[in-house]
Structure 1
Amino acid sequence: MLPNDHKINTYIESLIPNRNDLLTEMEQLARDQQVPIMELVGIEAMLQLLRMNQPHSILEIGTAIGYSAIRMAQALENVKVVTIERDEHRYSQALHYIERANLGNRIDVIFGDALQVGEQLEFYAPFDVLFIDAAKGQYENFFHIYEPFVRSGGLIISDNILFRGLVAEESIENKNHAGMARKLRRYNEWLMKNEQFTTTILPIGDGIALSIKK
């Protein structure tokens, strides 16, 4: 990470074309209600990667208000997105925005805890891409549950794995942040050592891990 990475991030954001009115509305709602959606530079990089790979099926863990699911479906005309959300209010918001985006035929939202609804995904498998963007403390559990649904040669994307840079800090005063940083460090180390995958970590957005299934 560069010392002036915040300035660089702001500069890159200034170059990104404006999104459509619906996405702009969702971004504003996320700011107002503190909904955790993917950072702009991070999602733009991920979408470009997906355009290069042209997946036909994506499983997302953590729908929130449906922002990233909608962006993936809009970027990839032939993709089917299945996404899981456990918060009832956000689930309802996601359905609302997906309907407004006219993407109900290509985005399926499953209501439930991703730690408990794995069996429902067997109907949709195999997936070309698994995108993990939910409770950071459960990343390894999510990986174990849903990795079997990813085809050989498929891609698993883990977001927020640098946790605002705190994974690189030796001392963190906030106990909750310190605990989360420890969990993410363990996850990153486990992921990099997992011989069934080839993993690269990119310092983009809040950190993205790209794991290709062998």
Structure 2
Amino acid sequence: MNEKLNNYLNEIHPNEHNWINELEIQAKNENVPIMDRVGINFVMQLTRTSKPEKILEIGTAIGYSALRMVEACPDCSIVTIEKDAERYKQAILNISIQNKQDQIKVILGDALDKLMELSAQKHKFDLIFIDAAKGQYQRFFDLAEPMLNKNGMIITDNVLFRGYVADPEAVPKRYKKMVEKIRNYNTMLMNHPNYKTSIVPVGDGVAVSLKLT
């Protein structure tokens, strides 16, 4: 998104609760990537309107987005997966401080393994939020989407990755393979016969995919 527009949207954003500000400061101080306020506000609005009962999140980090989705949809329950042990501990603590441990279950482990376990256990979800290793988006989608109920929604963050997806020649060498994978993922989403997808230039790019069958 244009930086001036993003700054404007942040300026008119209403003040948040203290716990939200504290989590944002924690993420910044510890260099933990979380969605910016404009991006998470968009995800929360999607959550409010779709009213999912069960949410699967791939990529917990410190629990910020899970807590914000529960804020937007107080009656939902969330299963969220985090690979990093330290972030897992932070998420557990942050969720406990907000007394949301009964609604948000955090699983420690590699998402590829844990998704297969959840699938084998016949779990079903109304909304799936993918916000983990970007180079693995296709594999996350392939493992998670069979667990999505009809008319469910998959939200994927960072699908425009700093604008590099639109200008492959400008991509730094260290990002080339990842950007190529994101471009392929976006193409797959837009052409998937069982989904209708919109990619919105909010934050770092958010794909919203609605399951039709």
Q: Secondary structure at the match of 2:170?
A: coil
Match of 2:168 among 167, 170, 183: 170
Match of 1:64 among 61, 78, 84: 61
Distance in structure 1 (CA, Å) of the matches to 2:21 and 2:53: 26
1:189 aligns with 2:176: no
Q: Secondary structure at the match of 1:117?
A: helix
Residue number in structure 1 paired with 2:177: 179
**Is residue 116–residue 143 contact of structure 2 (8 Å, CA) maintained in 1?**
no
Residue number in structure 2 paired with 1:157: 155
Report Cα offsets for 1:160-186 as digits up to 9, x if no partner: 000011101131252112222111111
Write out aligned runs for 1:12-51 (5 A): 12-51=9-48
Distance in structure 1 (CA, Å) of the matches to 2:102 and 2:122: 14
Structure 1 moving runs of 4+ over 6 Å? none
* Residues matched between the structures, number: 211
Residue number in structure 2 paired with 1:143: 141
1:115 aligns with 2:129: no
Distance in structure 2 (CA, Å) of the matches to 1:124 and 1:133: 22
Is the deviation greater in 91-100 or in 15-24?
A: 15-24
TM-score of the pair, normalised by structure 2: 0.95
- Determine what percentage of the aligned residue pairs are the same residue: 46
* Alpha-carbon RMSD: 1.2
**Is residue 172–residue 178 contact of structure 1 (8 Å, CA) maintained in 2?**
no
**TM-superposed deviation, 1:20:** 1.4
1:124/1:68 Cα in 2 relative to 1: closer, same or farther (>3 Å)?
farther
Q: Secondary structure at the match of 2:210?
A: strand
TM-score of the pair, normalised by structure 1: 0.95
Q: Which runs of 5+ in 1 are unaligned?
A: none
**Is residue 44–residue 72 contact of structure 2 (8 Å, CA) maintained in 1?**
yes
Residue number in structure 2 paired with 1:204: 202
1:190/1:173 Cα in 2 relative to 1: closer, same or farther (>3 Å)?
closer
